[in-house]
C-alpha cells in the first residue's frame, strides 16, 4: 500500500481553452488529510480526477495513485453496489454503518432518503472498502449541522492518504494537516490546516507584492535614466557625424575626427547600451514576480441600507407559529429589532426555510422594505434574472458587475457567459439589489454553491451590515461571525439562544 502520492511537473488544459489550467504542478500527498481549496473554476475537481486516474494530464506524472477511491458530489448509486454494501456483514462495514448512522435495511428505501442520508451511505461504503487513497469532493455540501458532525467524526477514522475538497472551513481546520491553495497562475502547498496555511499564504503574498513594488520602482528609475542616456547618445552621434559639413570645412572635420579618436562622445553610446541591458533584466524580474502576484482580495459588497425607525420589525406574541402542515411551539415572545442579527438553525426538515418565508410575507404585509434570498432559484426565476441583467443600462450593468467581482467572480467571464452556475446566480441576485434600501435581510443558506473565497467575501459584507439580518445556515463558523442570536428549531419548538453563551 502506497504511503505517498506525488505529482511532478504536471500540465493540463481543456480542449476548449487555449491557456493551461495547470502548468508545472508539483504536489505531494502523504498519510492524513490534505485539503484542496480555491475559487470555483480553479481546477479543484479536475485535479482530483487526475489523481484518481479519471483524467489524463497533457504531460507530467502522477505516482502512487494505483488504489484511489474518488467520491464525487452526486449521490448516484447502482443497485448492485448498494446491495453488496447493505448485506456485507464484515467488521469494517459494520463499523462505518454504525459511525455514519446508516439505518436502511432494503434497496427500496434508498430513493426515499434525504440528500444527507444518501451522502452518509456513500461515505460509509468508501471508508469500509479501506482504499489506500480516498478523495472526497465537497462531502458536507447542503448538509445540516448534525450530518456534518457525523461525517466529520467518521472521517477521523480513515488511516490512508485522504484528499478533501471543501469550502467548510471548520471541517478543513479540524481534519487537515496540509492544504493546497489553487489560484490563477499560482499554486501553493502549505503544512498545517486551512487557517494556518491561509495566514502563511497571506504573509508570502504580501512579500510578493512588496518585492514587485521594489522591482517596479527600480525599473521606473532605470527607465528615466535610460531616456536621459539615449538623449546623450543622440547628441554624441551628432558630434561625431560629418553629415552636413562643407567639404572645405577642414576645421570642423578635424574636430569630428578628434572626437572619434578620443572616444569621449562614443562613451555615451556605450553607457546607453549597458543601461538597456540592465533595464531588460529588471523588467524581466519584475514580470516574473508579477505573474505570481496573488489575486486581489475580495472585500465584499455594501448594500444601501437604512436602520429602521420602527420599534420592532417583527413581533409575535402567540404561543406558536402555525404553518398549516406544521406548528412550531414558542416559550416566549419572538421579536426582530432594527439591528437584530439572528441565525435560524436546526436539522433539515425542521421548518427553517418555511419560517424565513413566513417572515418575508410578514414584511410584505406590513410594507417593510426587505431583501429575501431564497435557497434555490427556479428555472423561470433564473431566466428572469438573466434577462434583467442583460437589459440593464450600461452604467447600471457596470455596478452589478462590480458587485459580482467583489463577491469573487471574474466580471468579464460573467458578462460573456450564456449560462450561470447556481453560485453565480446567487451573486447576481444580491448585486442586482445593491441600490435598494432594505430594513432587513432574510437570507436562506446564502453560502450554498459558493467557493471559500466568495463565502469569506460575503461574510465580510454581512459583518459590517447595519440593518437587521436573519439568516438560515448550517455553516457554524459563518453564523457565529455575523449573528449574535440563534433561533434553534428542535422537536417542533423554537428555542432562543445567545451565541456568546453557546
Tell me, what's the pLDDT at 261?
Answer: 46
Tell me, what's the pLDDT at 501?
Answer: 40
Tell me which residues of the chain have a pLDDT lower than 50. 258-264, 501-502
Give the three cell numbers for residue 226: 535610460
DSSP bridge partners of 180: 36, 189
Tell me, what's the pLDDT at 445?
Answer: 93
Tell me, what's the pLDDT at 235?
Answer: 63
Tell me, what's the pLDDT at 306?
Answer: 74
Query: Distance between CA atoms of 436 and 438, rounded to whole angstroms?
Result: 6
Give the three cell numbers for residue 204: 508570502
Give percent helix, percent strand, percent coil of the chain, each to the nearest 5. 45, 20, 35
CA distance between the termini of the chain: 44
DSSP bridge partners of 33: 162, 176
Query: Distance between CA atoms of 84 and 80, rounded to whole angstroms?
Result: 6
Helix (H, G, I), strand (E, B) or coil at 157: coil
Give the three cell numbers for residue 126: 468508501
Tell me, what's the pLDDT at 20?
Answer: 82
Could you identify the residue written with the cell 448594500?
303
Whether the domain at 4-192 and the domain at 314-498 fall into the same CATH topology: yes
Domain 4-192 class in CATH: alpha beta
> Any idea where the domains of the chain sit in the sequence?
4-192, 203-292, 314-498
Tell me, what's the pLDDT at 305?
Answer: 74
Domain 314-498 class in CATH: alpha beta
Tell me, what's the pLDDT at 26?
Answer: 95
Q: Is the CB of residue 269 less than 8 Å from the CB of residue 233?
A: yes
Helix (H, G, I), strand (E, B) or coil at 460: helix
CB atoms closer than 10 angstroms to residue 381: 13
CA R_g for the chain = 31
For residue 295, the 8-state DSSP code is P
Tell me, what's the pLDDT at 280?
Answer: 73
For residue 178, the 8-state DSSP code is E
Tell me, what's the pLDDT at 263?
Answer: 45
Tell me, what's the pLDDT at 502?
Answer: 42
Tell me, what's the pLDDT at 370?
Answer: 94
Query: Distance between CA atoms of 471 and 178, rounded to whole angstroms?
Result: 32
Interhelix angle for 145-155 vs 115-129, to 10°? Answer: 0
Amino acid at each position: 500500500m502506497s504511503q505517498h502520492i506525488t505529482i511532478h511537473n504536471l500540465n493540463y488544459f481543456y480542449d476548449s481553452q487555449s491557456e493551461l489550467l495547470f502548468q508545472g504542478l508539483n504536489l505531494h500527498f502523504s498519510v492524513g488529510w490534505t485539503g484542496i481549496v480555491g475559487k470555483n473554476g480553479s481546477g479543484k475537481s479536475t485535479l482530483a480526477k487526475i489523481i484518481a486516474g479519471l483524467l489524463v494530464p497533457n504531460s507530467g506524472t502522477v505516482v502512487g495513485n494505483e488504489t484511489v477511491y474518488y467520491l464525487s458530489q452526486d449521490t448516484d448509486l447502482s443497485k448492485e453496489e448498494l446491495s453488496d454494501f447493505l448485506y456485507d456483514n464484515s467488521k469494517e462495514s459494520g463499523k462505518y454503518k454504525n459511525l455514519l448512522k446508516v439505518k436502511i435495511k432494503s434497496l427500496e428505501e434508498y430513493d426515499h432518503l434525504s440528500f444527507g442520508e444518501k451522502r452518509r451511505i456513500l461515505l460509509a461504503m468508501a471508508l469500509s472498502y479501506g482504499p489506500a487513497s480516498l478523495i472526497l469532493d465537497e462531502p458536507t455540501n447542503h448538509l445540516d449541522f448534525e450530518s456534518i458532525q457525523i461525517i466529520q467524526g467518521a472521517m477521523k477514522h480513515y488511516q490512508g492518504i485522504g484528499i478533501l475538497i471543501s469550502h467548510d472551513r471548520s471541517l478543513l481546520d479540524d481534519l487537515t494537516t496540509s492544504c493546497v491553495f489553487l489560484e490563477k497562475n499560482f499554486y501553493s502547498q502549505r503544512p498545517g490546516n486551512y487557517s494556518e496555511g491561509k495566514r502563511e499564504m497571506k504573509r508570502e503574498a504580501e512579500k510578493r507584492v512588496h518585492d514587485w513594488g521594489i522591482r517596479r520602482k527600480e525599473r521606473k528609475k532605470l527607465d528615466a535614466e535610460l531616456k536621459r542616456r539615449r538623449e546623450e547618445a543622440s547628441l554624441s552621434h551628432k558630434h561625431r557625424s560629418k553629415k552636413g559639413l562643407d567639404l572645405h570645412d577642414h576645421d570642423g572635420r578635424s574636430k569630428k575626427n578628434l572626437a572619434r579618436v578620443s572616444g569621449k562622445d562614443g562613451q555615451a553610446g556605450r553607457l546607453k547600451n549597458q543601461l538597456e541591458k540592465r533595464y531588460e533584466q529588471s523588467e524581466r524580474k519584475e514580470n516574473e514576480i508579477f505573474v505570481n502576484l496573488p489575486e486581489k482580495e475580495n472585500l465584499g459588497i455594501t448594500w444601501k441600507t437604512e436602520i429602521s425607525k420602527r420599534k420592532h420589525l417583527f413581533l409575535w406574541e402567540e404561543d406558536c407559529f402555525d404553518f398549516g402542515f406544521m406548528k412550531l411551539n414558542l416559550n416566549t415572545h419572538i421579536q426582530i429589532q432594527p439591528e437584530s442579527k439572528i441565525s435560524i438553525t436546526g436539522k433539515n426538515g425542521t421548518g427553517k426555510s418555511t419560517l424565513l418565508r413566513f417572515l418575508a410575507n410578514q414584511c410584505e404585509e406590513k410594507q417593510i422594505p426587505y431583501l429575501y434570498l431564497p435557497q434555490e432559484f427556479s428555472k423561470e426565476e433564473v431566466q428572469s434574472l438573466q434577462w434583467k441583467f442583460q437589459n440593464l443600462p450600461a452604467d447600471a450593468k457596470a455596478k452589478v458587475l462590480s458587485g459580482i467581482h467583489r463577491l469573487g467572480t471574474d466580471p468579464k467571464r460573467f458578462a460573456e457567459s450564456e449560462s450561470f452556475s447556481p453560485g453565480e446566480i446567487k451573486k447576481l441576485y444580491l448585486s442586482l439589489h445593491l441600490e435598494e434600501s432594505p430594513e432587513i435581510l432574510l437570507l436562506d443558506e446564502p453560502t450554498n454553491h459558493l467557493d471559500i473565497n466568495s463565502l469569506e467575501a460575503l461574510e465580510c459584507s454581512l459583518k459590517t451590515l447595519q440593518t437587521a439580518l436573519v439568516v438560515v445556515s448550517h455553516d457554524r463558523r459563518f453564523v457565529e461571525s455575523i449573528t449574535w442570536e440563534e433561533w434553534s428549531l428542535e422537536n417542533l419548538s423554537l428555542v432562543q439562544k445567545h451565541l456568546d453563551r453557546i
